[in-house]
Amino acid sequence: MNTSMNKKYPFLSLKLANEPFEEELKQAACDVIASGWYLQGEQTCLLEQEIAALCHTRHCVAVSNGLDALRLIIRAYKEMGVLHDNDKIIVPADTFTASALAVSDNGLIPCFVDVRTDTMNLDSDLIERHITPDVKGIMPVHLYGTPSWDMKLMTVARQYKLIVIEDNAQAIGAMAAVAGFAGTRVTGSLGNAAAISFYPTKNLGALGDAGAVVTNDNELAATVRAIAHYGCDRRYHNIYRGVNCRIDELQAAMLRVKLRHLNEENKRRREVALAYNSYITHPHVTRPTIFDDMTQVWHQYVIRCSKRDKLREYLDGRDVGTDIHYATPPHCQPCYKEYNDLALPVTMTIASQAVSLPIAHPITADDAIAISSIINEFEE
């Protein structure tokens, strides 16, 4: 009997994803409970040092979630007089809505720019035609774990003196080629500041909400830290009308456990992506591109198929779970009515064809090969 015929491939099970670390997580949680210190303690401090080291940045401020990390960066630039109400920030049209929400929530305007079919990231050749005196920043999003960084983006940012805020929610540990720099550089260290999400499904996921800001800018880091703590630069001294966006010690401790295993998790994801790319041969399925000059971390493995719904139904019938990232791009959301008619053809094509295949632990390269054979037998 061929057992692989009967194997189930759920799209994602957080229980299974966290199972390898269960004992370490329980111990770390017990240690926090026993410490009697639940906010802004040793775990947060150590996590910040470890994330800054991983991202090769001088600072890390651990915060409540990835959206807050993005919001805090923009708010801090406003407090510093760098960004102002109604400034425009270039945002890729194909992203999770949170990227745009961080901009509009701060009273700035997202300027949606189309993406490339190969990287599914911001098409930097299109940025310049959107530049107006109001455009003050770019938010490259390293979608699905593929760095959004190239010579053109760097050149335009420099030429027009644009602040670059990386949305690194999905790409912790990824490496991008950087012109004029030997080798690759880790995402999060490429722009002026970056936001990271530790949402539970992420490659480095907490057991609840958490996020971080990383930057080499001393003033920005101090401003973000103050705003996230009620706007205080010291106890009971509010220099900003701040918010409470702190991470808690339990999540910091959970993340420190999982951080020890991030490299192997990212490596496993790369092996699974490579297996899918090598074995999916269906003529009507487009595989994502694996780039030689960067290190992708495959937060999602996204194929495209014009018969997307039929393919999903077929896979579901063979116990292969799938998902869609993202069926409705931000500019088509009801909250962004004024953008609904924008012409963003590549984003719309991707939104109508994208299917995410299982890639989280415990999926192995062998599982990917088995799933690929199932896909190859799909009859449209």
Ligand X SMILES: Cc1ncc(COP(=O)(O)O)c(C=O)c1O
Contacts to ligand X by CB under 6 A: 65-67, 95-96, 98-99, 141, 167, 169-170, 197, 199, 209, 211
In the complex, the smallest distance separating the C-beta of residue 48 from ligand X, rounded to whole angstroms, is: 17
Between CA 149 and CA 123 the distance in angstroms is: 10
* Paired tokens of 98: 């949170």
Query: Which residue in 277, 80, 243, 266 sits closest to 163, CA to CA?
Result: 80
Q: Which residues contact 155 (CB under 8 A, 6 or more apart)?
A: none
Q: Which is nearer to ligand X, 57 or 197 (CB)?
A: 197
Minimum distance from residue 165 beta carbon to ligand X (Å): 11
Concatenated DSSP letters of 218-236 = HHHHHHHHHHHBTTEEETT
Q: Which of 167, 158, 161 is nearest to 140 (CA)?
A: 167
Q: Considering beta carbons, is residue 91 or 126 the nearer one to ligand X?
A: 91
Shortest distance (Å) from residue 126 CB to ligand X: 19
CB of 157 to ligand X, least distance (A): 19
Q: Which is nearer to ligand X, 242 or 329 (CB)?
A: 329
As measured in angstroms, the least distance from the Cβ of 231 to ligand X is 21
Are 375 and 280 contacting, i.e. CB atoms less than 8 angstroms apart?
yes
Name the residue with the smallest CB distance to ligand X: 66
Structure tokens at 37: 């210190």
In angstroms, the CA 172 to CA 54 distance is 9
Q: Is 198 exposed, middle or buried (0-12, 13-18, 19+ CB in 10 A)?
A: buried
Q: Among 137, 93, 96, 91, which residue's Cα sits nearest to residue 114?
A: 93
CB of 190 to ligand X, least distance (A): 15
CB-wise, 141 or 204, nearer to ligand X? Answer: 141
Question: Quick one: tokens of 196?
Answer: 């990271």
Give one DSSP letter per residue of 266-314, joined into a string: HHHHHHHHHHHHHH---TTEEPPPPPTTSB---SSEEEEETTHHHHHHH
Find the shortest distance in angstroms from Cβ 169 to ligand X.
Answer: 3
Of 347 and 372, nearer to ligand X (C-beta) is 347
At 136 the three-state DSSP class reads strand
Q: Which of residues 43 and 99 has its CB atom nearest to ligand X in the complex?
A: 99
Minimum CB distance to ligand X smaller for 147 or for 211? 211
For ligand X, give the closer residue by CB, 143 or 226: 143
Task: Report in angstroms how near the CB of residue 66 gets to ligand X at its nearest.
Answer: 2
Considering beta carbons, is residue 209 or 217 the nearer one to ligand X? 209
163-167/135-138 β-pairing:
parallel
Specify the amino acid at residue 145.
G
Tokens found for residue 32: 């926090």
- Least distance to ligand X, CB of residue 325, Å: 8
For tokens 């001393």, what's the residue?
218
Amino acid at 122: L
